[in-house]
Amino acid sequence: MSTNSTLVALQFIDLHLPLSLTPSTGREPYVCPLQTCGVSVEATQYSVMSTRGRAPGAGKSLCTRPTWFHVICNSVDPLESPMLTLARIEESNSTDMNQGRNELVYLDHAATTAVHPKVLEAMIPLFSDYFYNASSMYGPAQECRQGMEAARLSVANALSCKPSEVIFTSGGTESDNAAIKGAAIALQDHGNHIITSSIEHHAVLHTCHALEKIGFEVTYLPVDRDGQLDPVGLERAITKRTTVVSIMLANNEVGTIQPVAEIADLIKTKSKQLGTQIVFHTDAVQGASYLDLDVNKLCVDALSLSAHKFNGPKGSGILYLRRATPFEPQQVGGSHERDRRAGTENVAGIVGLAQALSLAIDNRSSNRQHVLNLRDKLIHGIRERIPHAHLNGHEADRLPNNVNFSFEGTDSQWTLMALDEARIAASTGSACRTASLDPSHVLVALGVPADIAIGTLRMTLGPENTAEEIDYVLDTLPGIVDNIRRPKQTLQNQS
């Protein structure tokens, strides 16, 4: 077999294979000692990319950026090796892509948001001058408690509920866990059946999985190709043993909004017919900045929020729990939060959360319209410039800041890293499952084929994004997609 050399991108696909790469200094070659493929790899840059960040047996962490190599094959054609994904990319595209742009275009607001300056200003004194434990009895500590209770009142006004119905938590994950487990365990003498959807955040799904291990039964309802739940299907799933229903307000990956108020009405009607009590919870984490969170309009018994999704601090969340809702505390060890959530109160985080939620509501209308205009511009531009691009989620009933596309013939890991080189931050979906190589469970539930789902890109906008930034993305993304597709098309033509 003749020796050949080509510029390729090297990616590990099956990390259970006996792979190891040892980076050398200078321009000495990297050596890939595969039993079935003798390949000498001369690096033109000096990092190695593993999709999980570490090659088995290598003992050293590897860089997460892509690396372009000259691959010299002496025994086997690397293009025929199932262990490697090889993509020809022009060097100019990998090295000069971000020249002239220093500022990051941040399109991952569904993952987290920056703390608003007014929020930070409200929090800073609580780290120094007012650092006291709000449960202590002396004067300065009670001033901290007063600040915390003022924050609780502010949150209650935002949700149109009573202050006593607001429980402060560490974030959305804890709130989801507490709501579902707390209600299910409190009502377990009346039933052990839980209903949720197949596209919930893992904070809900994994909570349900944990409850299944201790004897609870869970029904995971399907959704249509747009990600919407059929309320009639939910009604049919309710039995006399059903005690908890948890349906998210808006999906974190594809942005589809569920008819929560309609579902709540259906549940209450069915529960009355059966003579049972059903607690209805909604994960509203993605909705605070753009959707109405009036719990009386939504008709929910429990609702989860996380501050860092609406320009508040990380580590601070809300569980709204309607008065008289059955609930067994899941975090014990103190009488905090009216005996519903033990632990020293994070006063700074609570005050910051309340300030951020107030700002989000005050600016909701203008921010919604702003991001809606940018979202529609981005969706239209992608459809116009990139063939075989599929929008995931409902066309109309979706979050105003969510854009989720699957690009045929691409791998989202490569797309993200090329965008990163171009100073554009996006994601494949939930930040809580970034390390997973499996297709998103949300896309699987929508019926997106696996070979298309792996090419999915989520871009979520925020108030600070501009039309100029969207133009830059639309000028950059088509070339990236084309470069990733080109080698696959070449290989298909050769086969």
Q: Active-site positions?
A: 432
Q: Could you write out the three-class secondary structure of the chain? A: CCCEEEEEEEEECCCCCCCCCCCCCCCCCEEEEECCEEEEEEECCCCCCCCCCECCCCCCECCCCCCEEEEEECCCCHHHCCCEEECCCCHHHHHCCCCCCCCCEECECCCCCCCCHHHHHHHHHHHCCCCCCCCCCCHHHHHHHHHHHHHHHHHHHHHCCCHHHEEEECCHHHHHHHHHHHHHHHCCCCCCEEEEECCCCHHHHHHHHHHHCCCCEEEEECECCCCCECHHHHHHHCCCCEEEEECCCECCCCCEECCHHHHHHHHHHHHHHHCCCCEEEEECCCCCCCCCCCHHHHCCCEEEEEHHHCCCCCCCEEEEECCCCCCCCCCCCCCHHHHCCCCCCCHHHHHHHHHHHHHHHHCHHHHHHHHHHHHHHHHHHHHHHCCCEEECCCCCCECCCEEEEEECCCCHHHHHHHHHHCCEECECCCHHHCCCCCCCHHHHHCCCCHHHHCCEEEEECCCCCCHHHHHHHHHHHHHHHHHHHHHHHHHHHHC
